[in-house]
Structure 1
Amino acid sequence: MTKSTNITWHHTSISKHDRRSQNGHGSCTLWFTGLSGSGKSTIANAVSYELFRQGINEYVLDGDNIRHGLNKDLGFSDYDRSENIRRIGEVAKLFVDSGKIVTTAFISPFRSDRDLVRSLFEEGEFIEVFIDCPLEECERRDPKQLYAKARRGEIKDFTGIDSPYEAPENPEITIQSGSVTVEEAVEQVLNYLRDKNIL
């Protein structure tokens, strides 16, 4: 496919800072990463709900939901996983520009892909939230029975079984989801946002 070179970025009349000022709060991406079953989606949705309850402009981008639409043409090869994350990063950047706090819940197993997404944002706009949960606990939970299928060979290239997960080295937030409640995890994230004057 040939890429067009006749494309120009158009600046809009309303800036990201104008939207933040009108909203009365900052905007950022909360990038939840971790193994399947670690609690990413549960915690991300709970954070988003609490932000909404407080009158904050927010939105959730969930991995499974995105693959029903925007990324339904992608599989689970290393290339497709990277492209999946790249596209989500670009969408998340648009949400941040619109003045929202966007929570994303993606395994995003490769450190280089997460670093690429981080590079799209200004300093302080990309907040990596590592949902740290032992593989054994994730398998015990296995809400979608994916680990069981992977162990039987019914799913190939499954993260944590026959495809690697590269844990973040310096995440802004680490949540030990096996030892804290969802409510405690939410408060941990909100405290970070308050400390950084995003809320």
Structure 2
Amino acid sequence: MSRKTFNVKQVIFSYLQLLLAISCLITFMGLRFAYSQNTDAKMTKLSVQTDDLITIEVTTLKNTLVRGDDIVINYRIANYNKKTIFLVSEPSQPIFINEDFIIELMKPVRLPDDHRVYDYDLIKISPQKVYKGNLIIKAKYYLENKDYDFSIAKIQVGFSYLFDKTNLEDCKQATYVRPCFFELYKKSKSLTLGNFVIEIKKS
């Protein structure tokens, strides 16, 4: 084999290597661009069914808000049980921001506390019936937290219900409510749905 033929083959081999390297680089840059464009999907609707055949559906009207807007959570509760249930509603449902900066609309029924006022409503939902409502997180709850700017808000929503409201009908008028708290805690079932993710943009 002549030296000239060997050099030609070497040049062709080097050229092919260069083409392969360029092709790999283009593929890598394309994949990198594609993955850099990937974002997490935001959940705007959650639906669960309990072992009691109670379906709870929670939705957000918007997954993007302007900073200073209230956050509105809509819910729908369907009773597919053969028995009537009572949704436990607390007019001033507590809002808590935990250490992970998740905004929690806390479950209405919590451990009994003698320092709390019994202010629960028991909303009747008959078999095969649906109840709809909404919960509002006022903007002040995330605006006043100076540790985090809440450009992205993660939200959890708690619910409680029961089947038997015996001994609870007159609790709002009672002067001594400790037995009412314990009765409610013992009879109710609770669950939490989340996380909803809402983007909060600066105005």
Bin for the TM-score computed over the shorter chain: under 0.3
TM-score (norm 1): 0.22
Which protein has the larger Cα radius of gyration, Structure 1 or Structure 2?
2
> Which protein has the bigger strand share?
2
Q: Which has the higher contact order (CA 8 A, sep 6+)?
A: 1
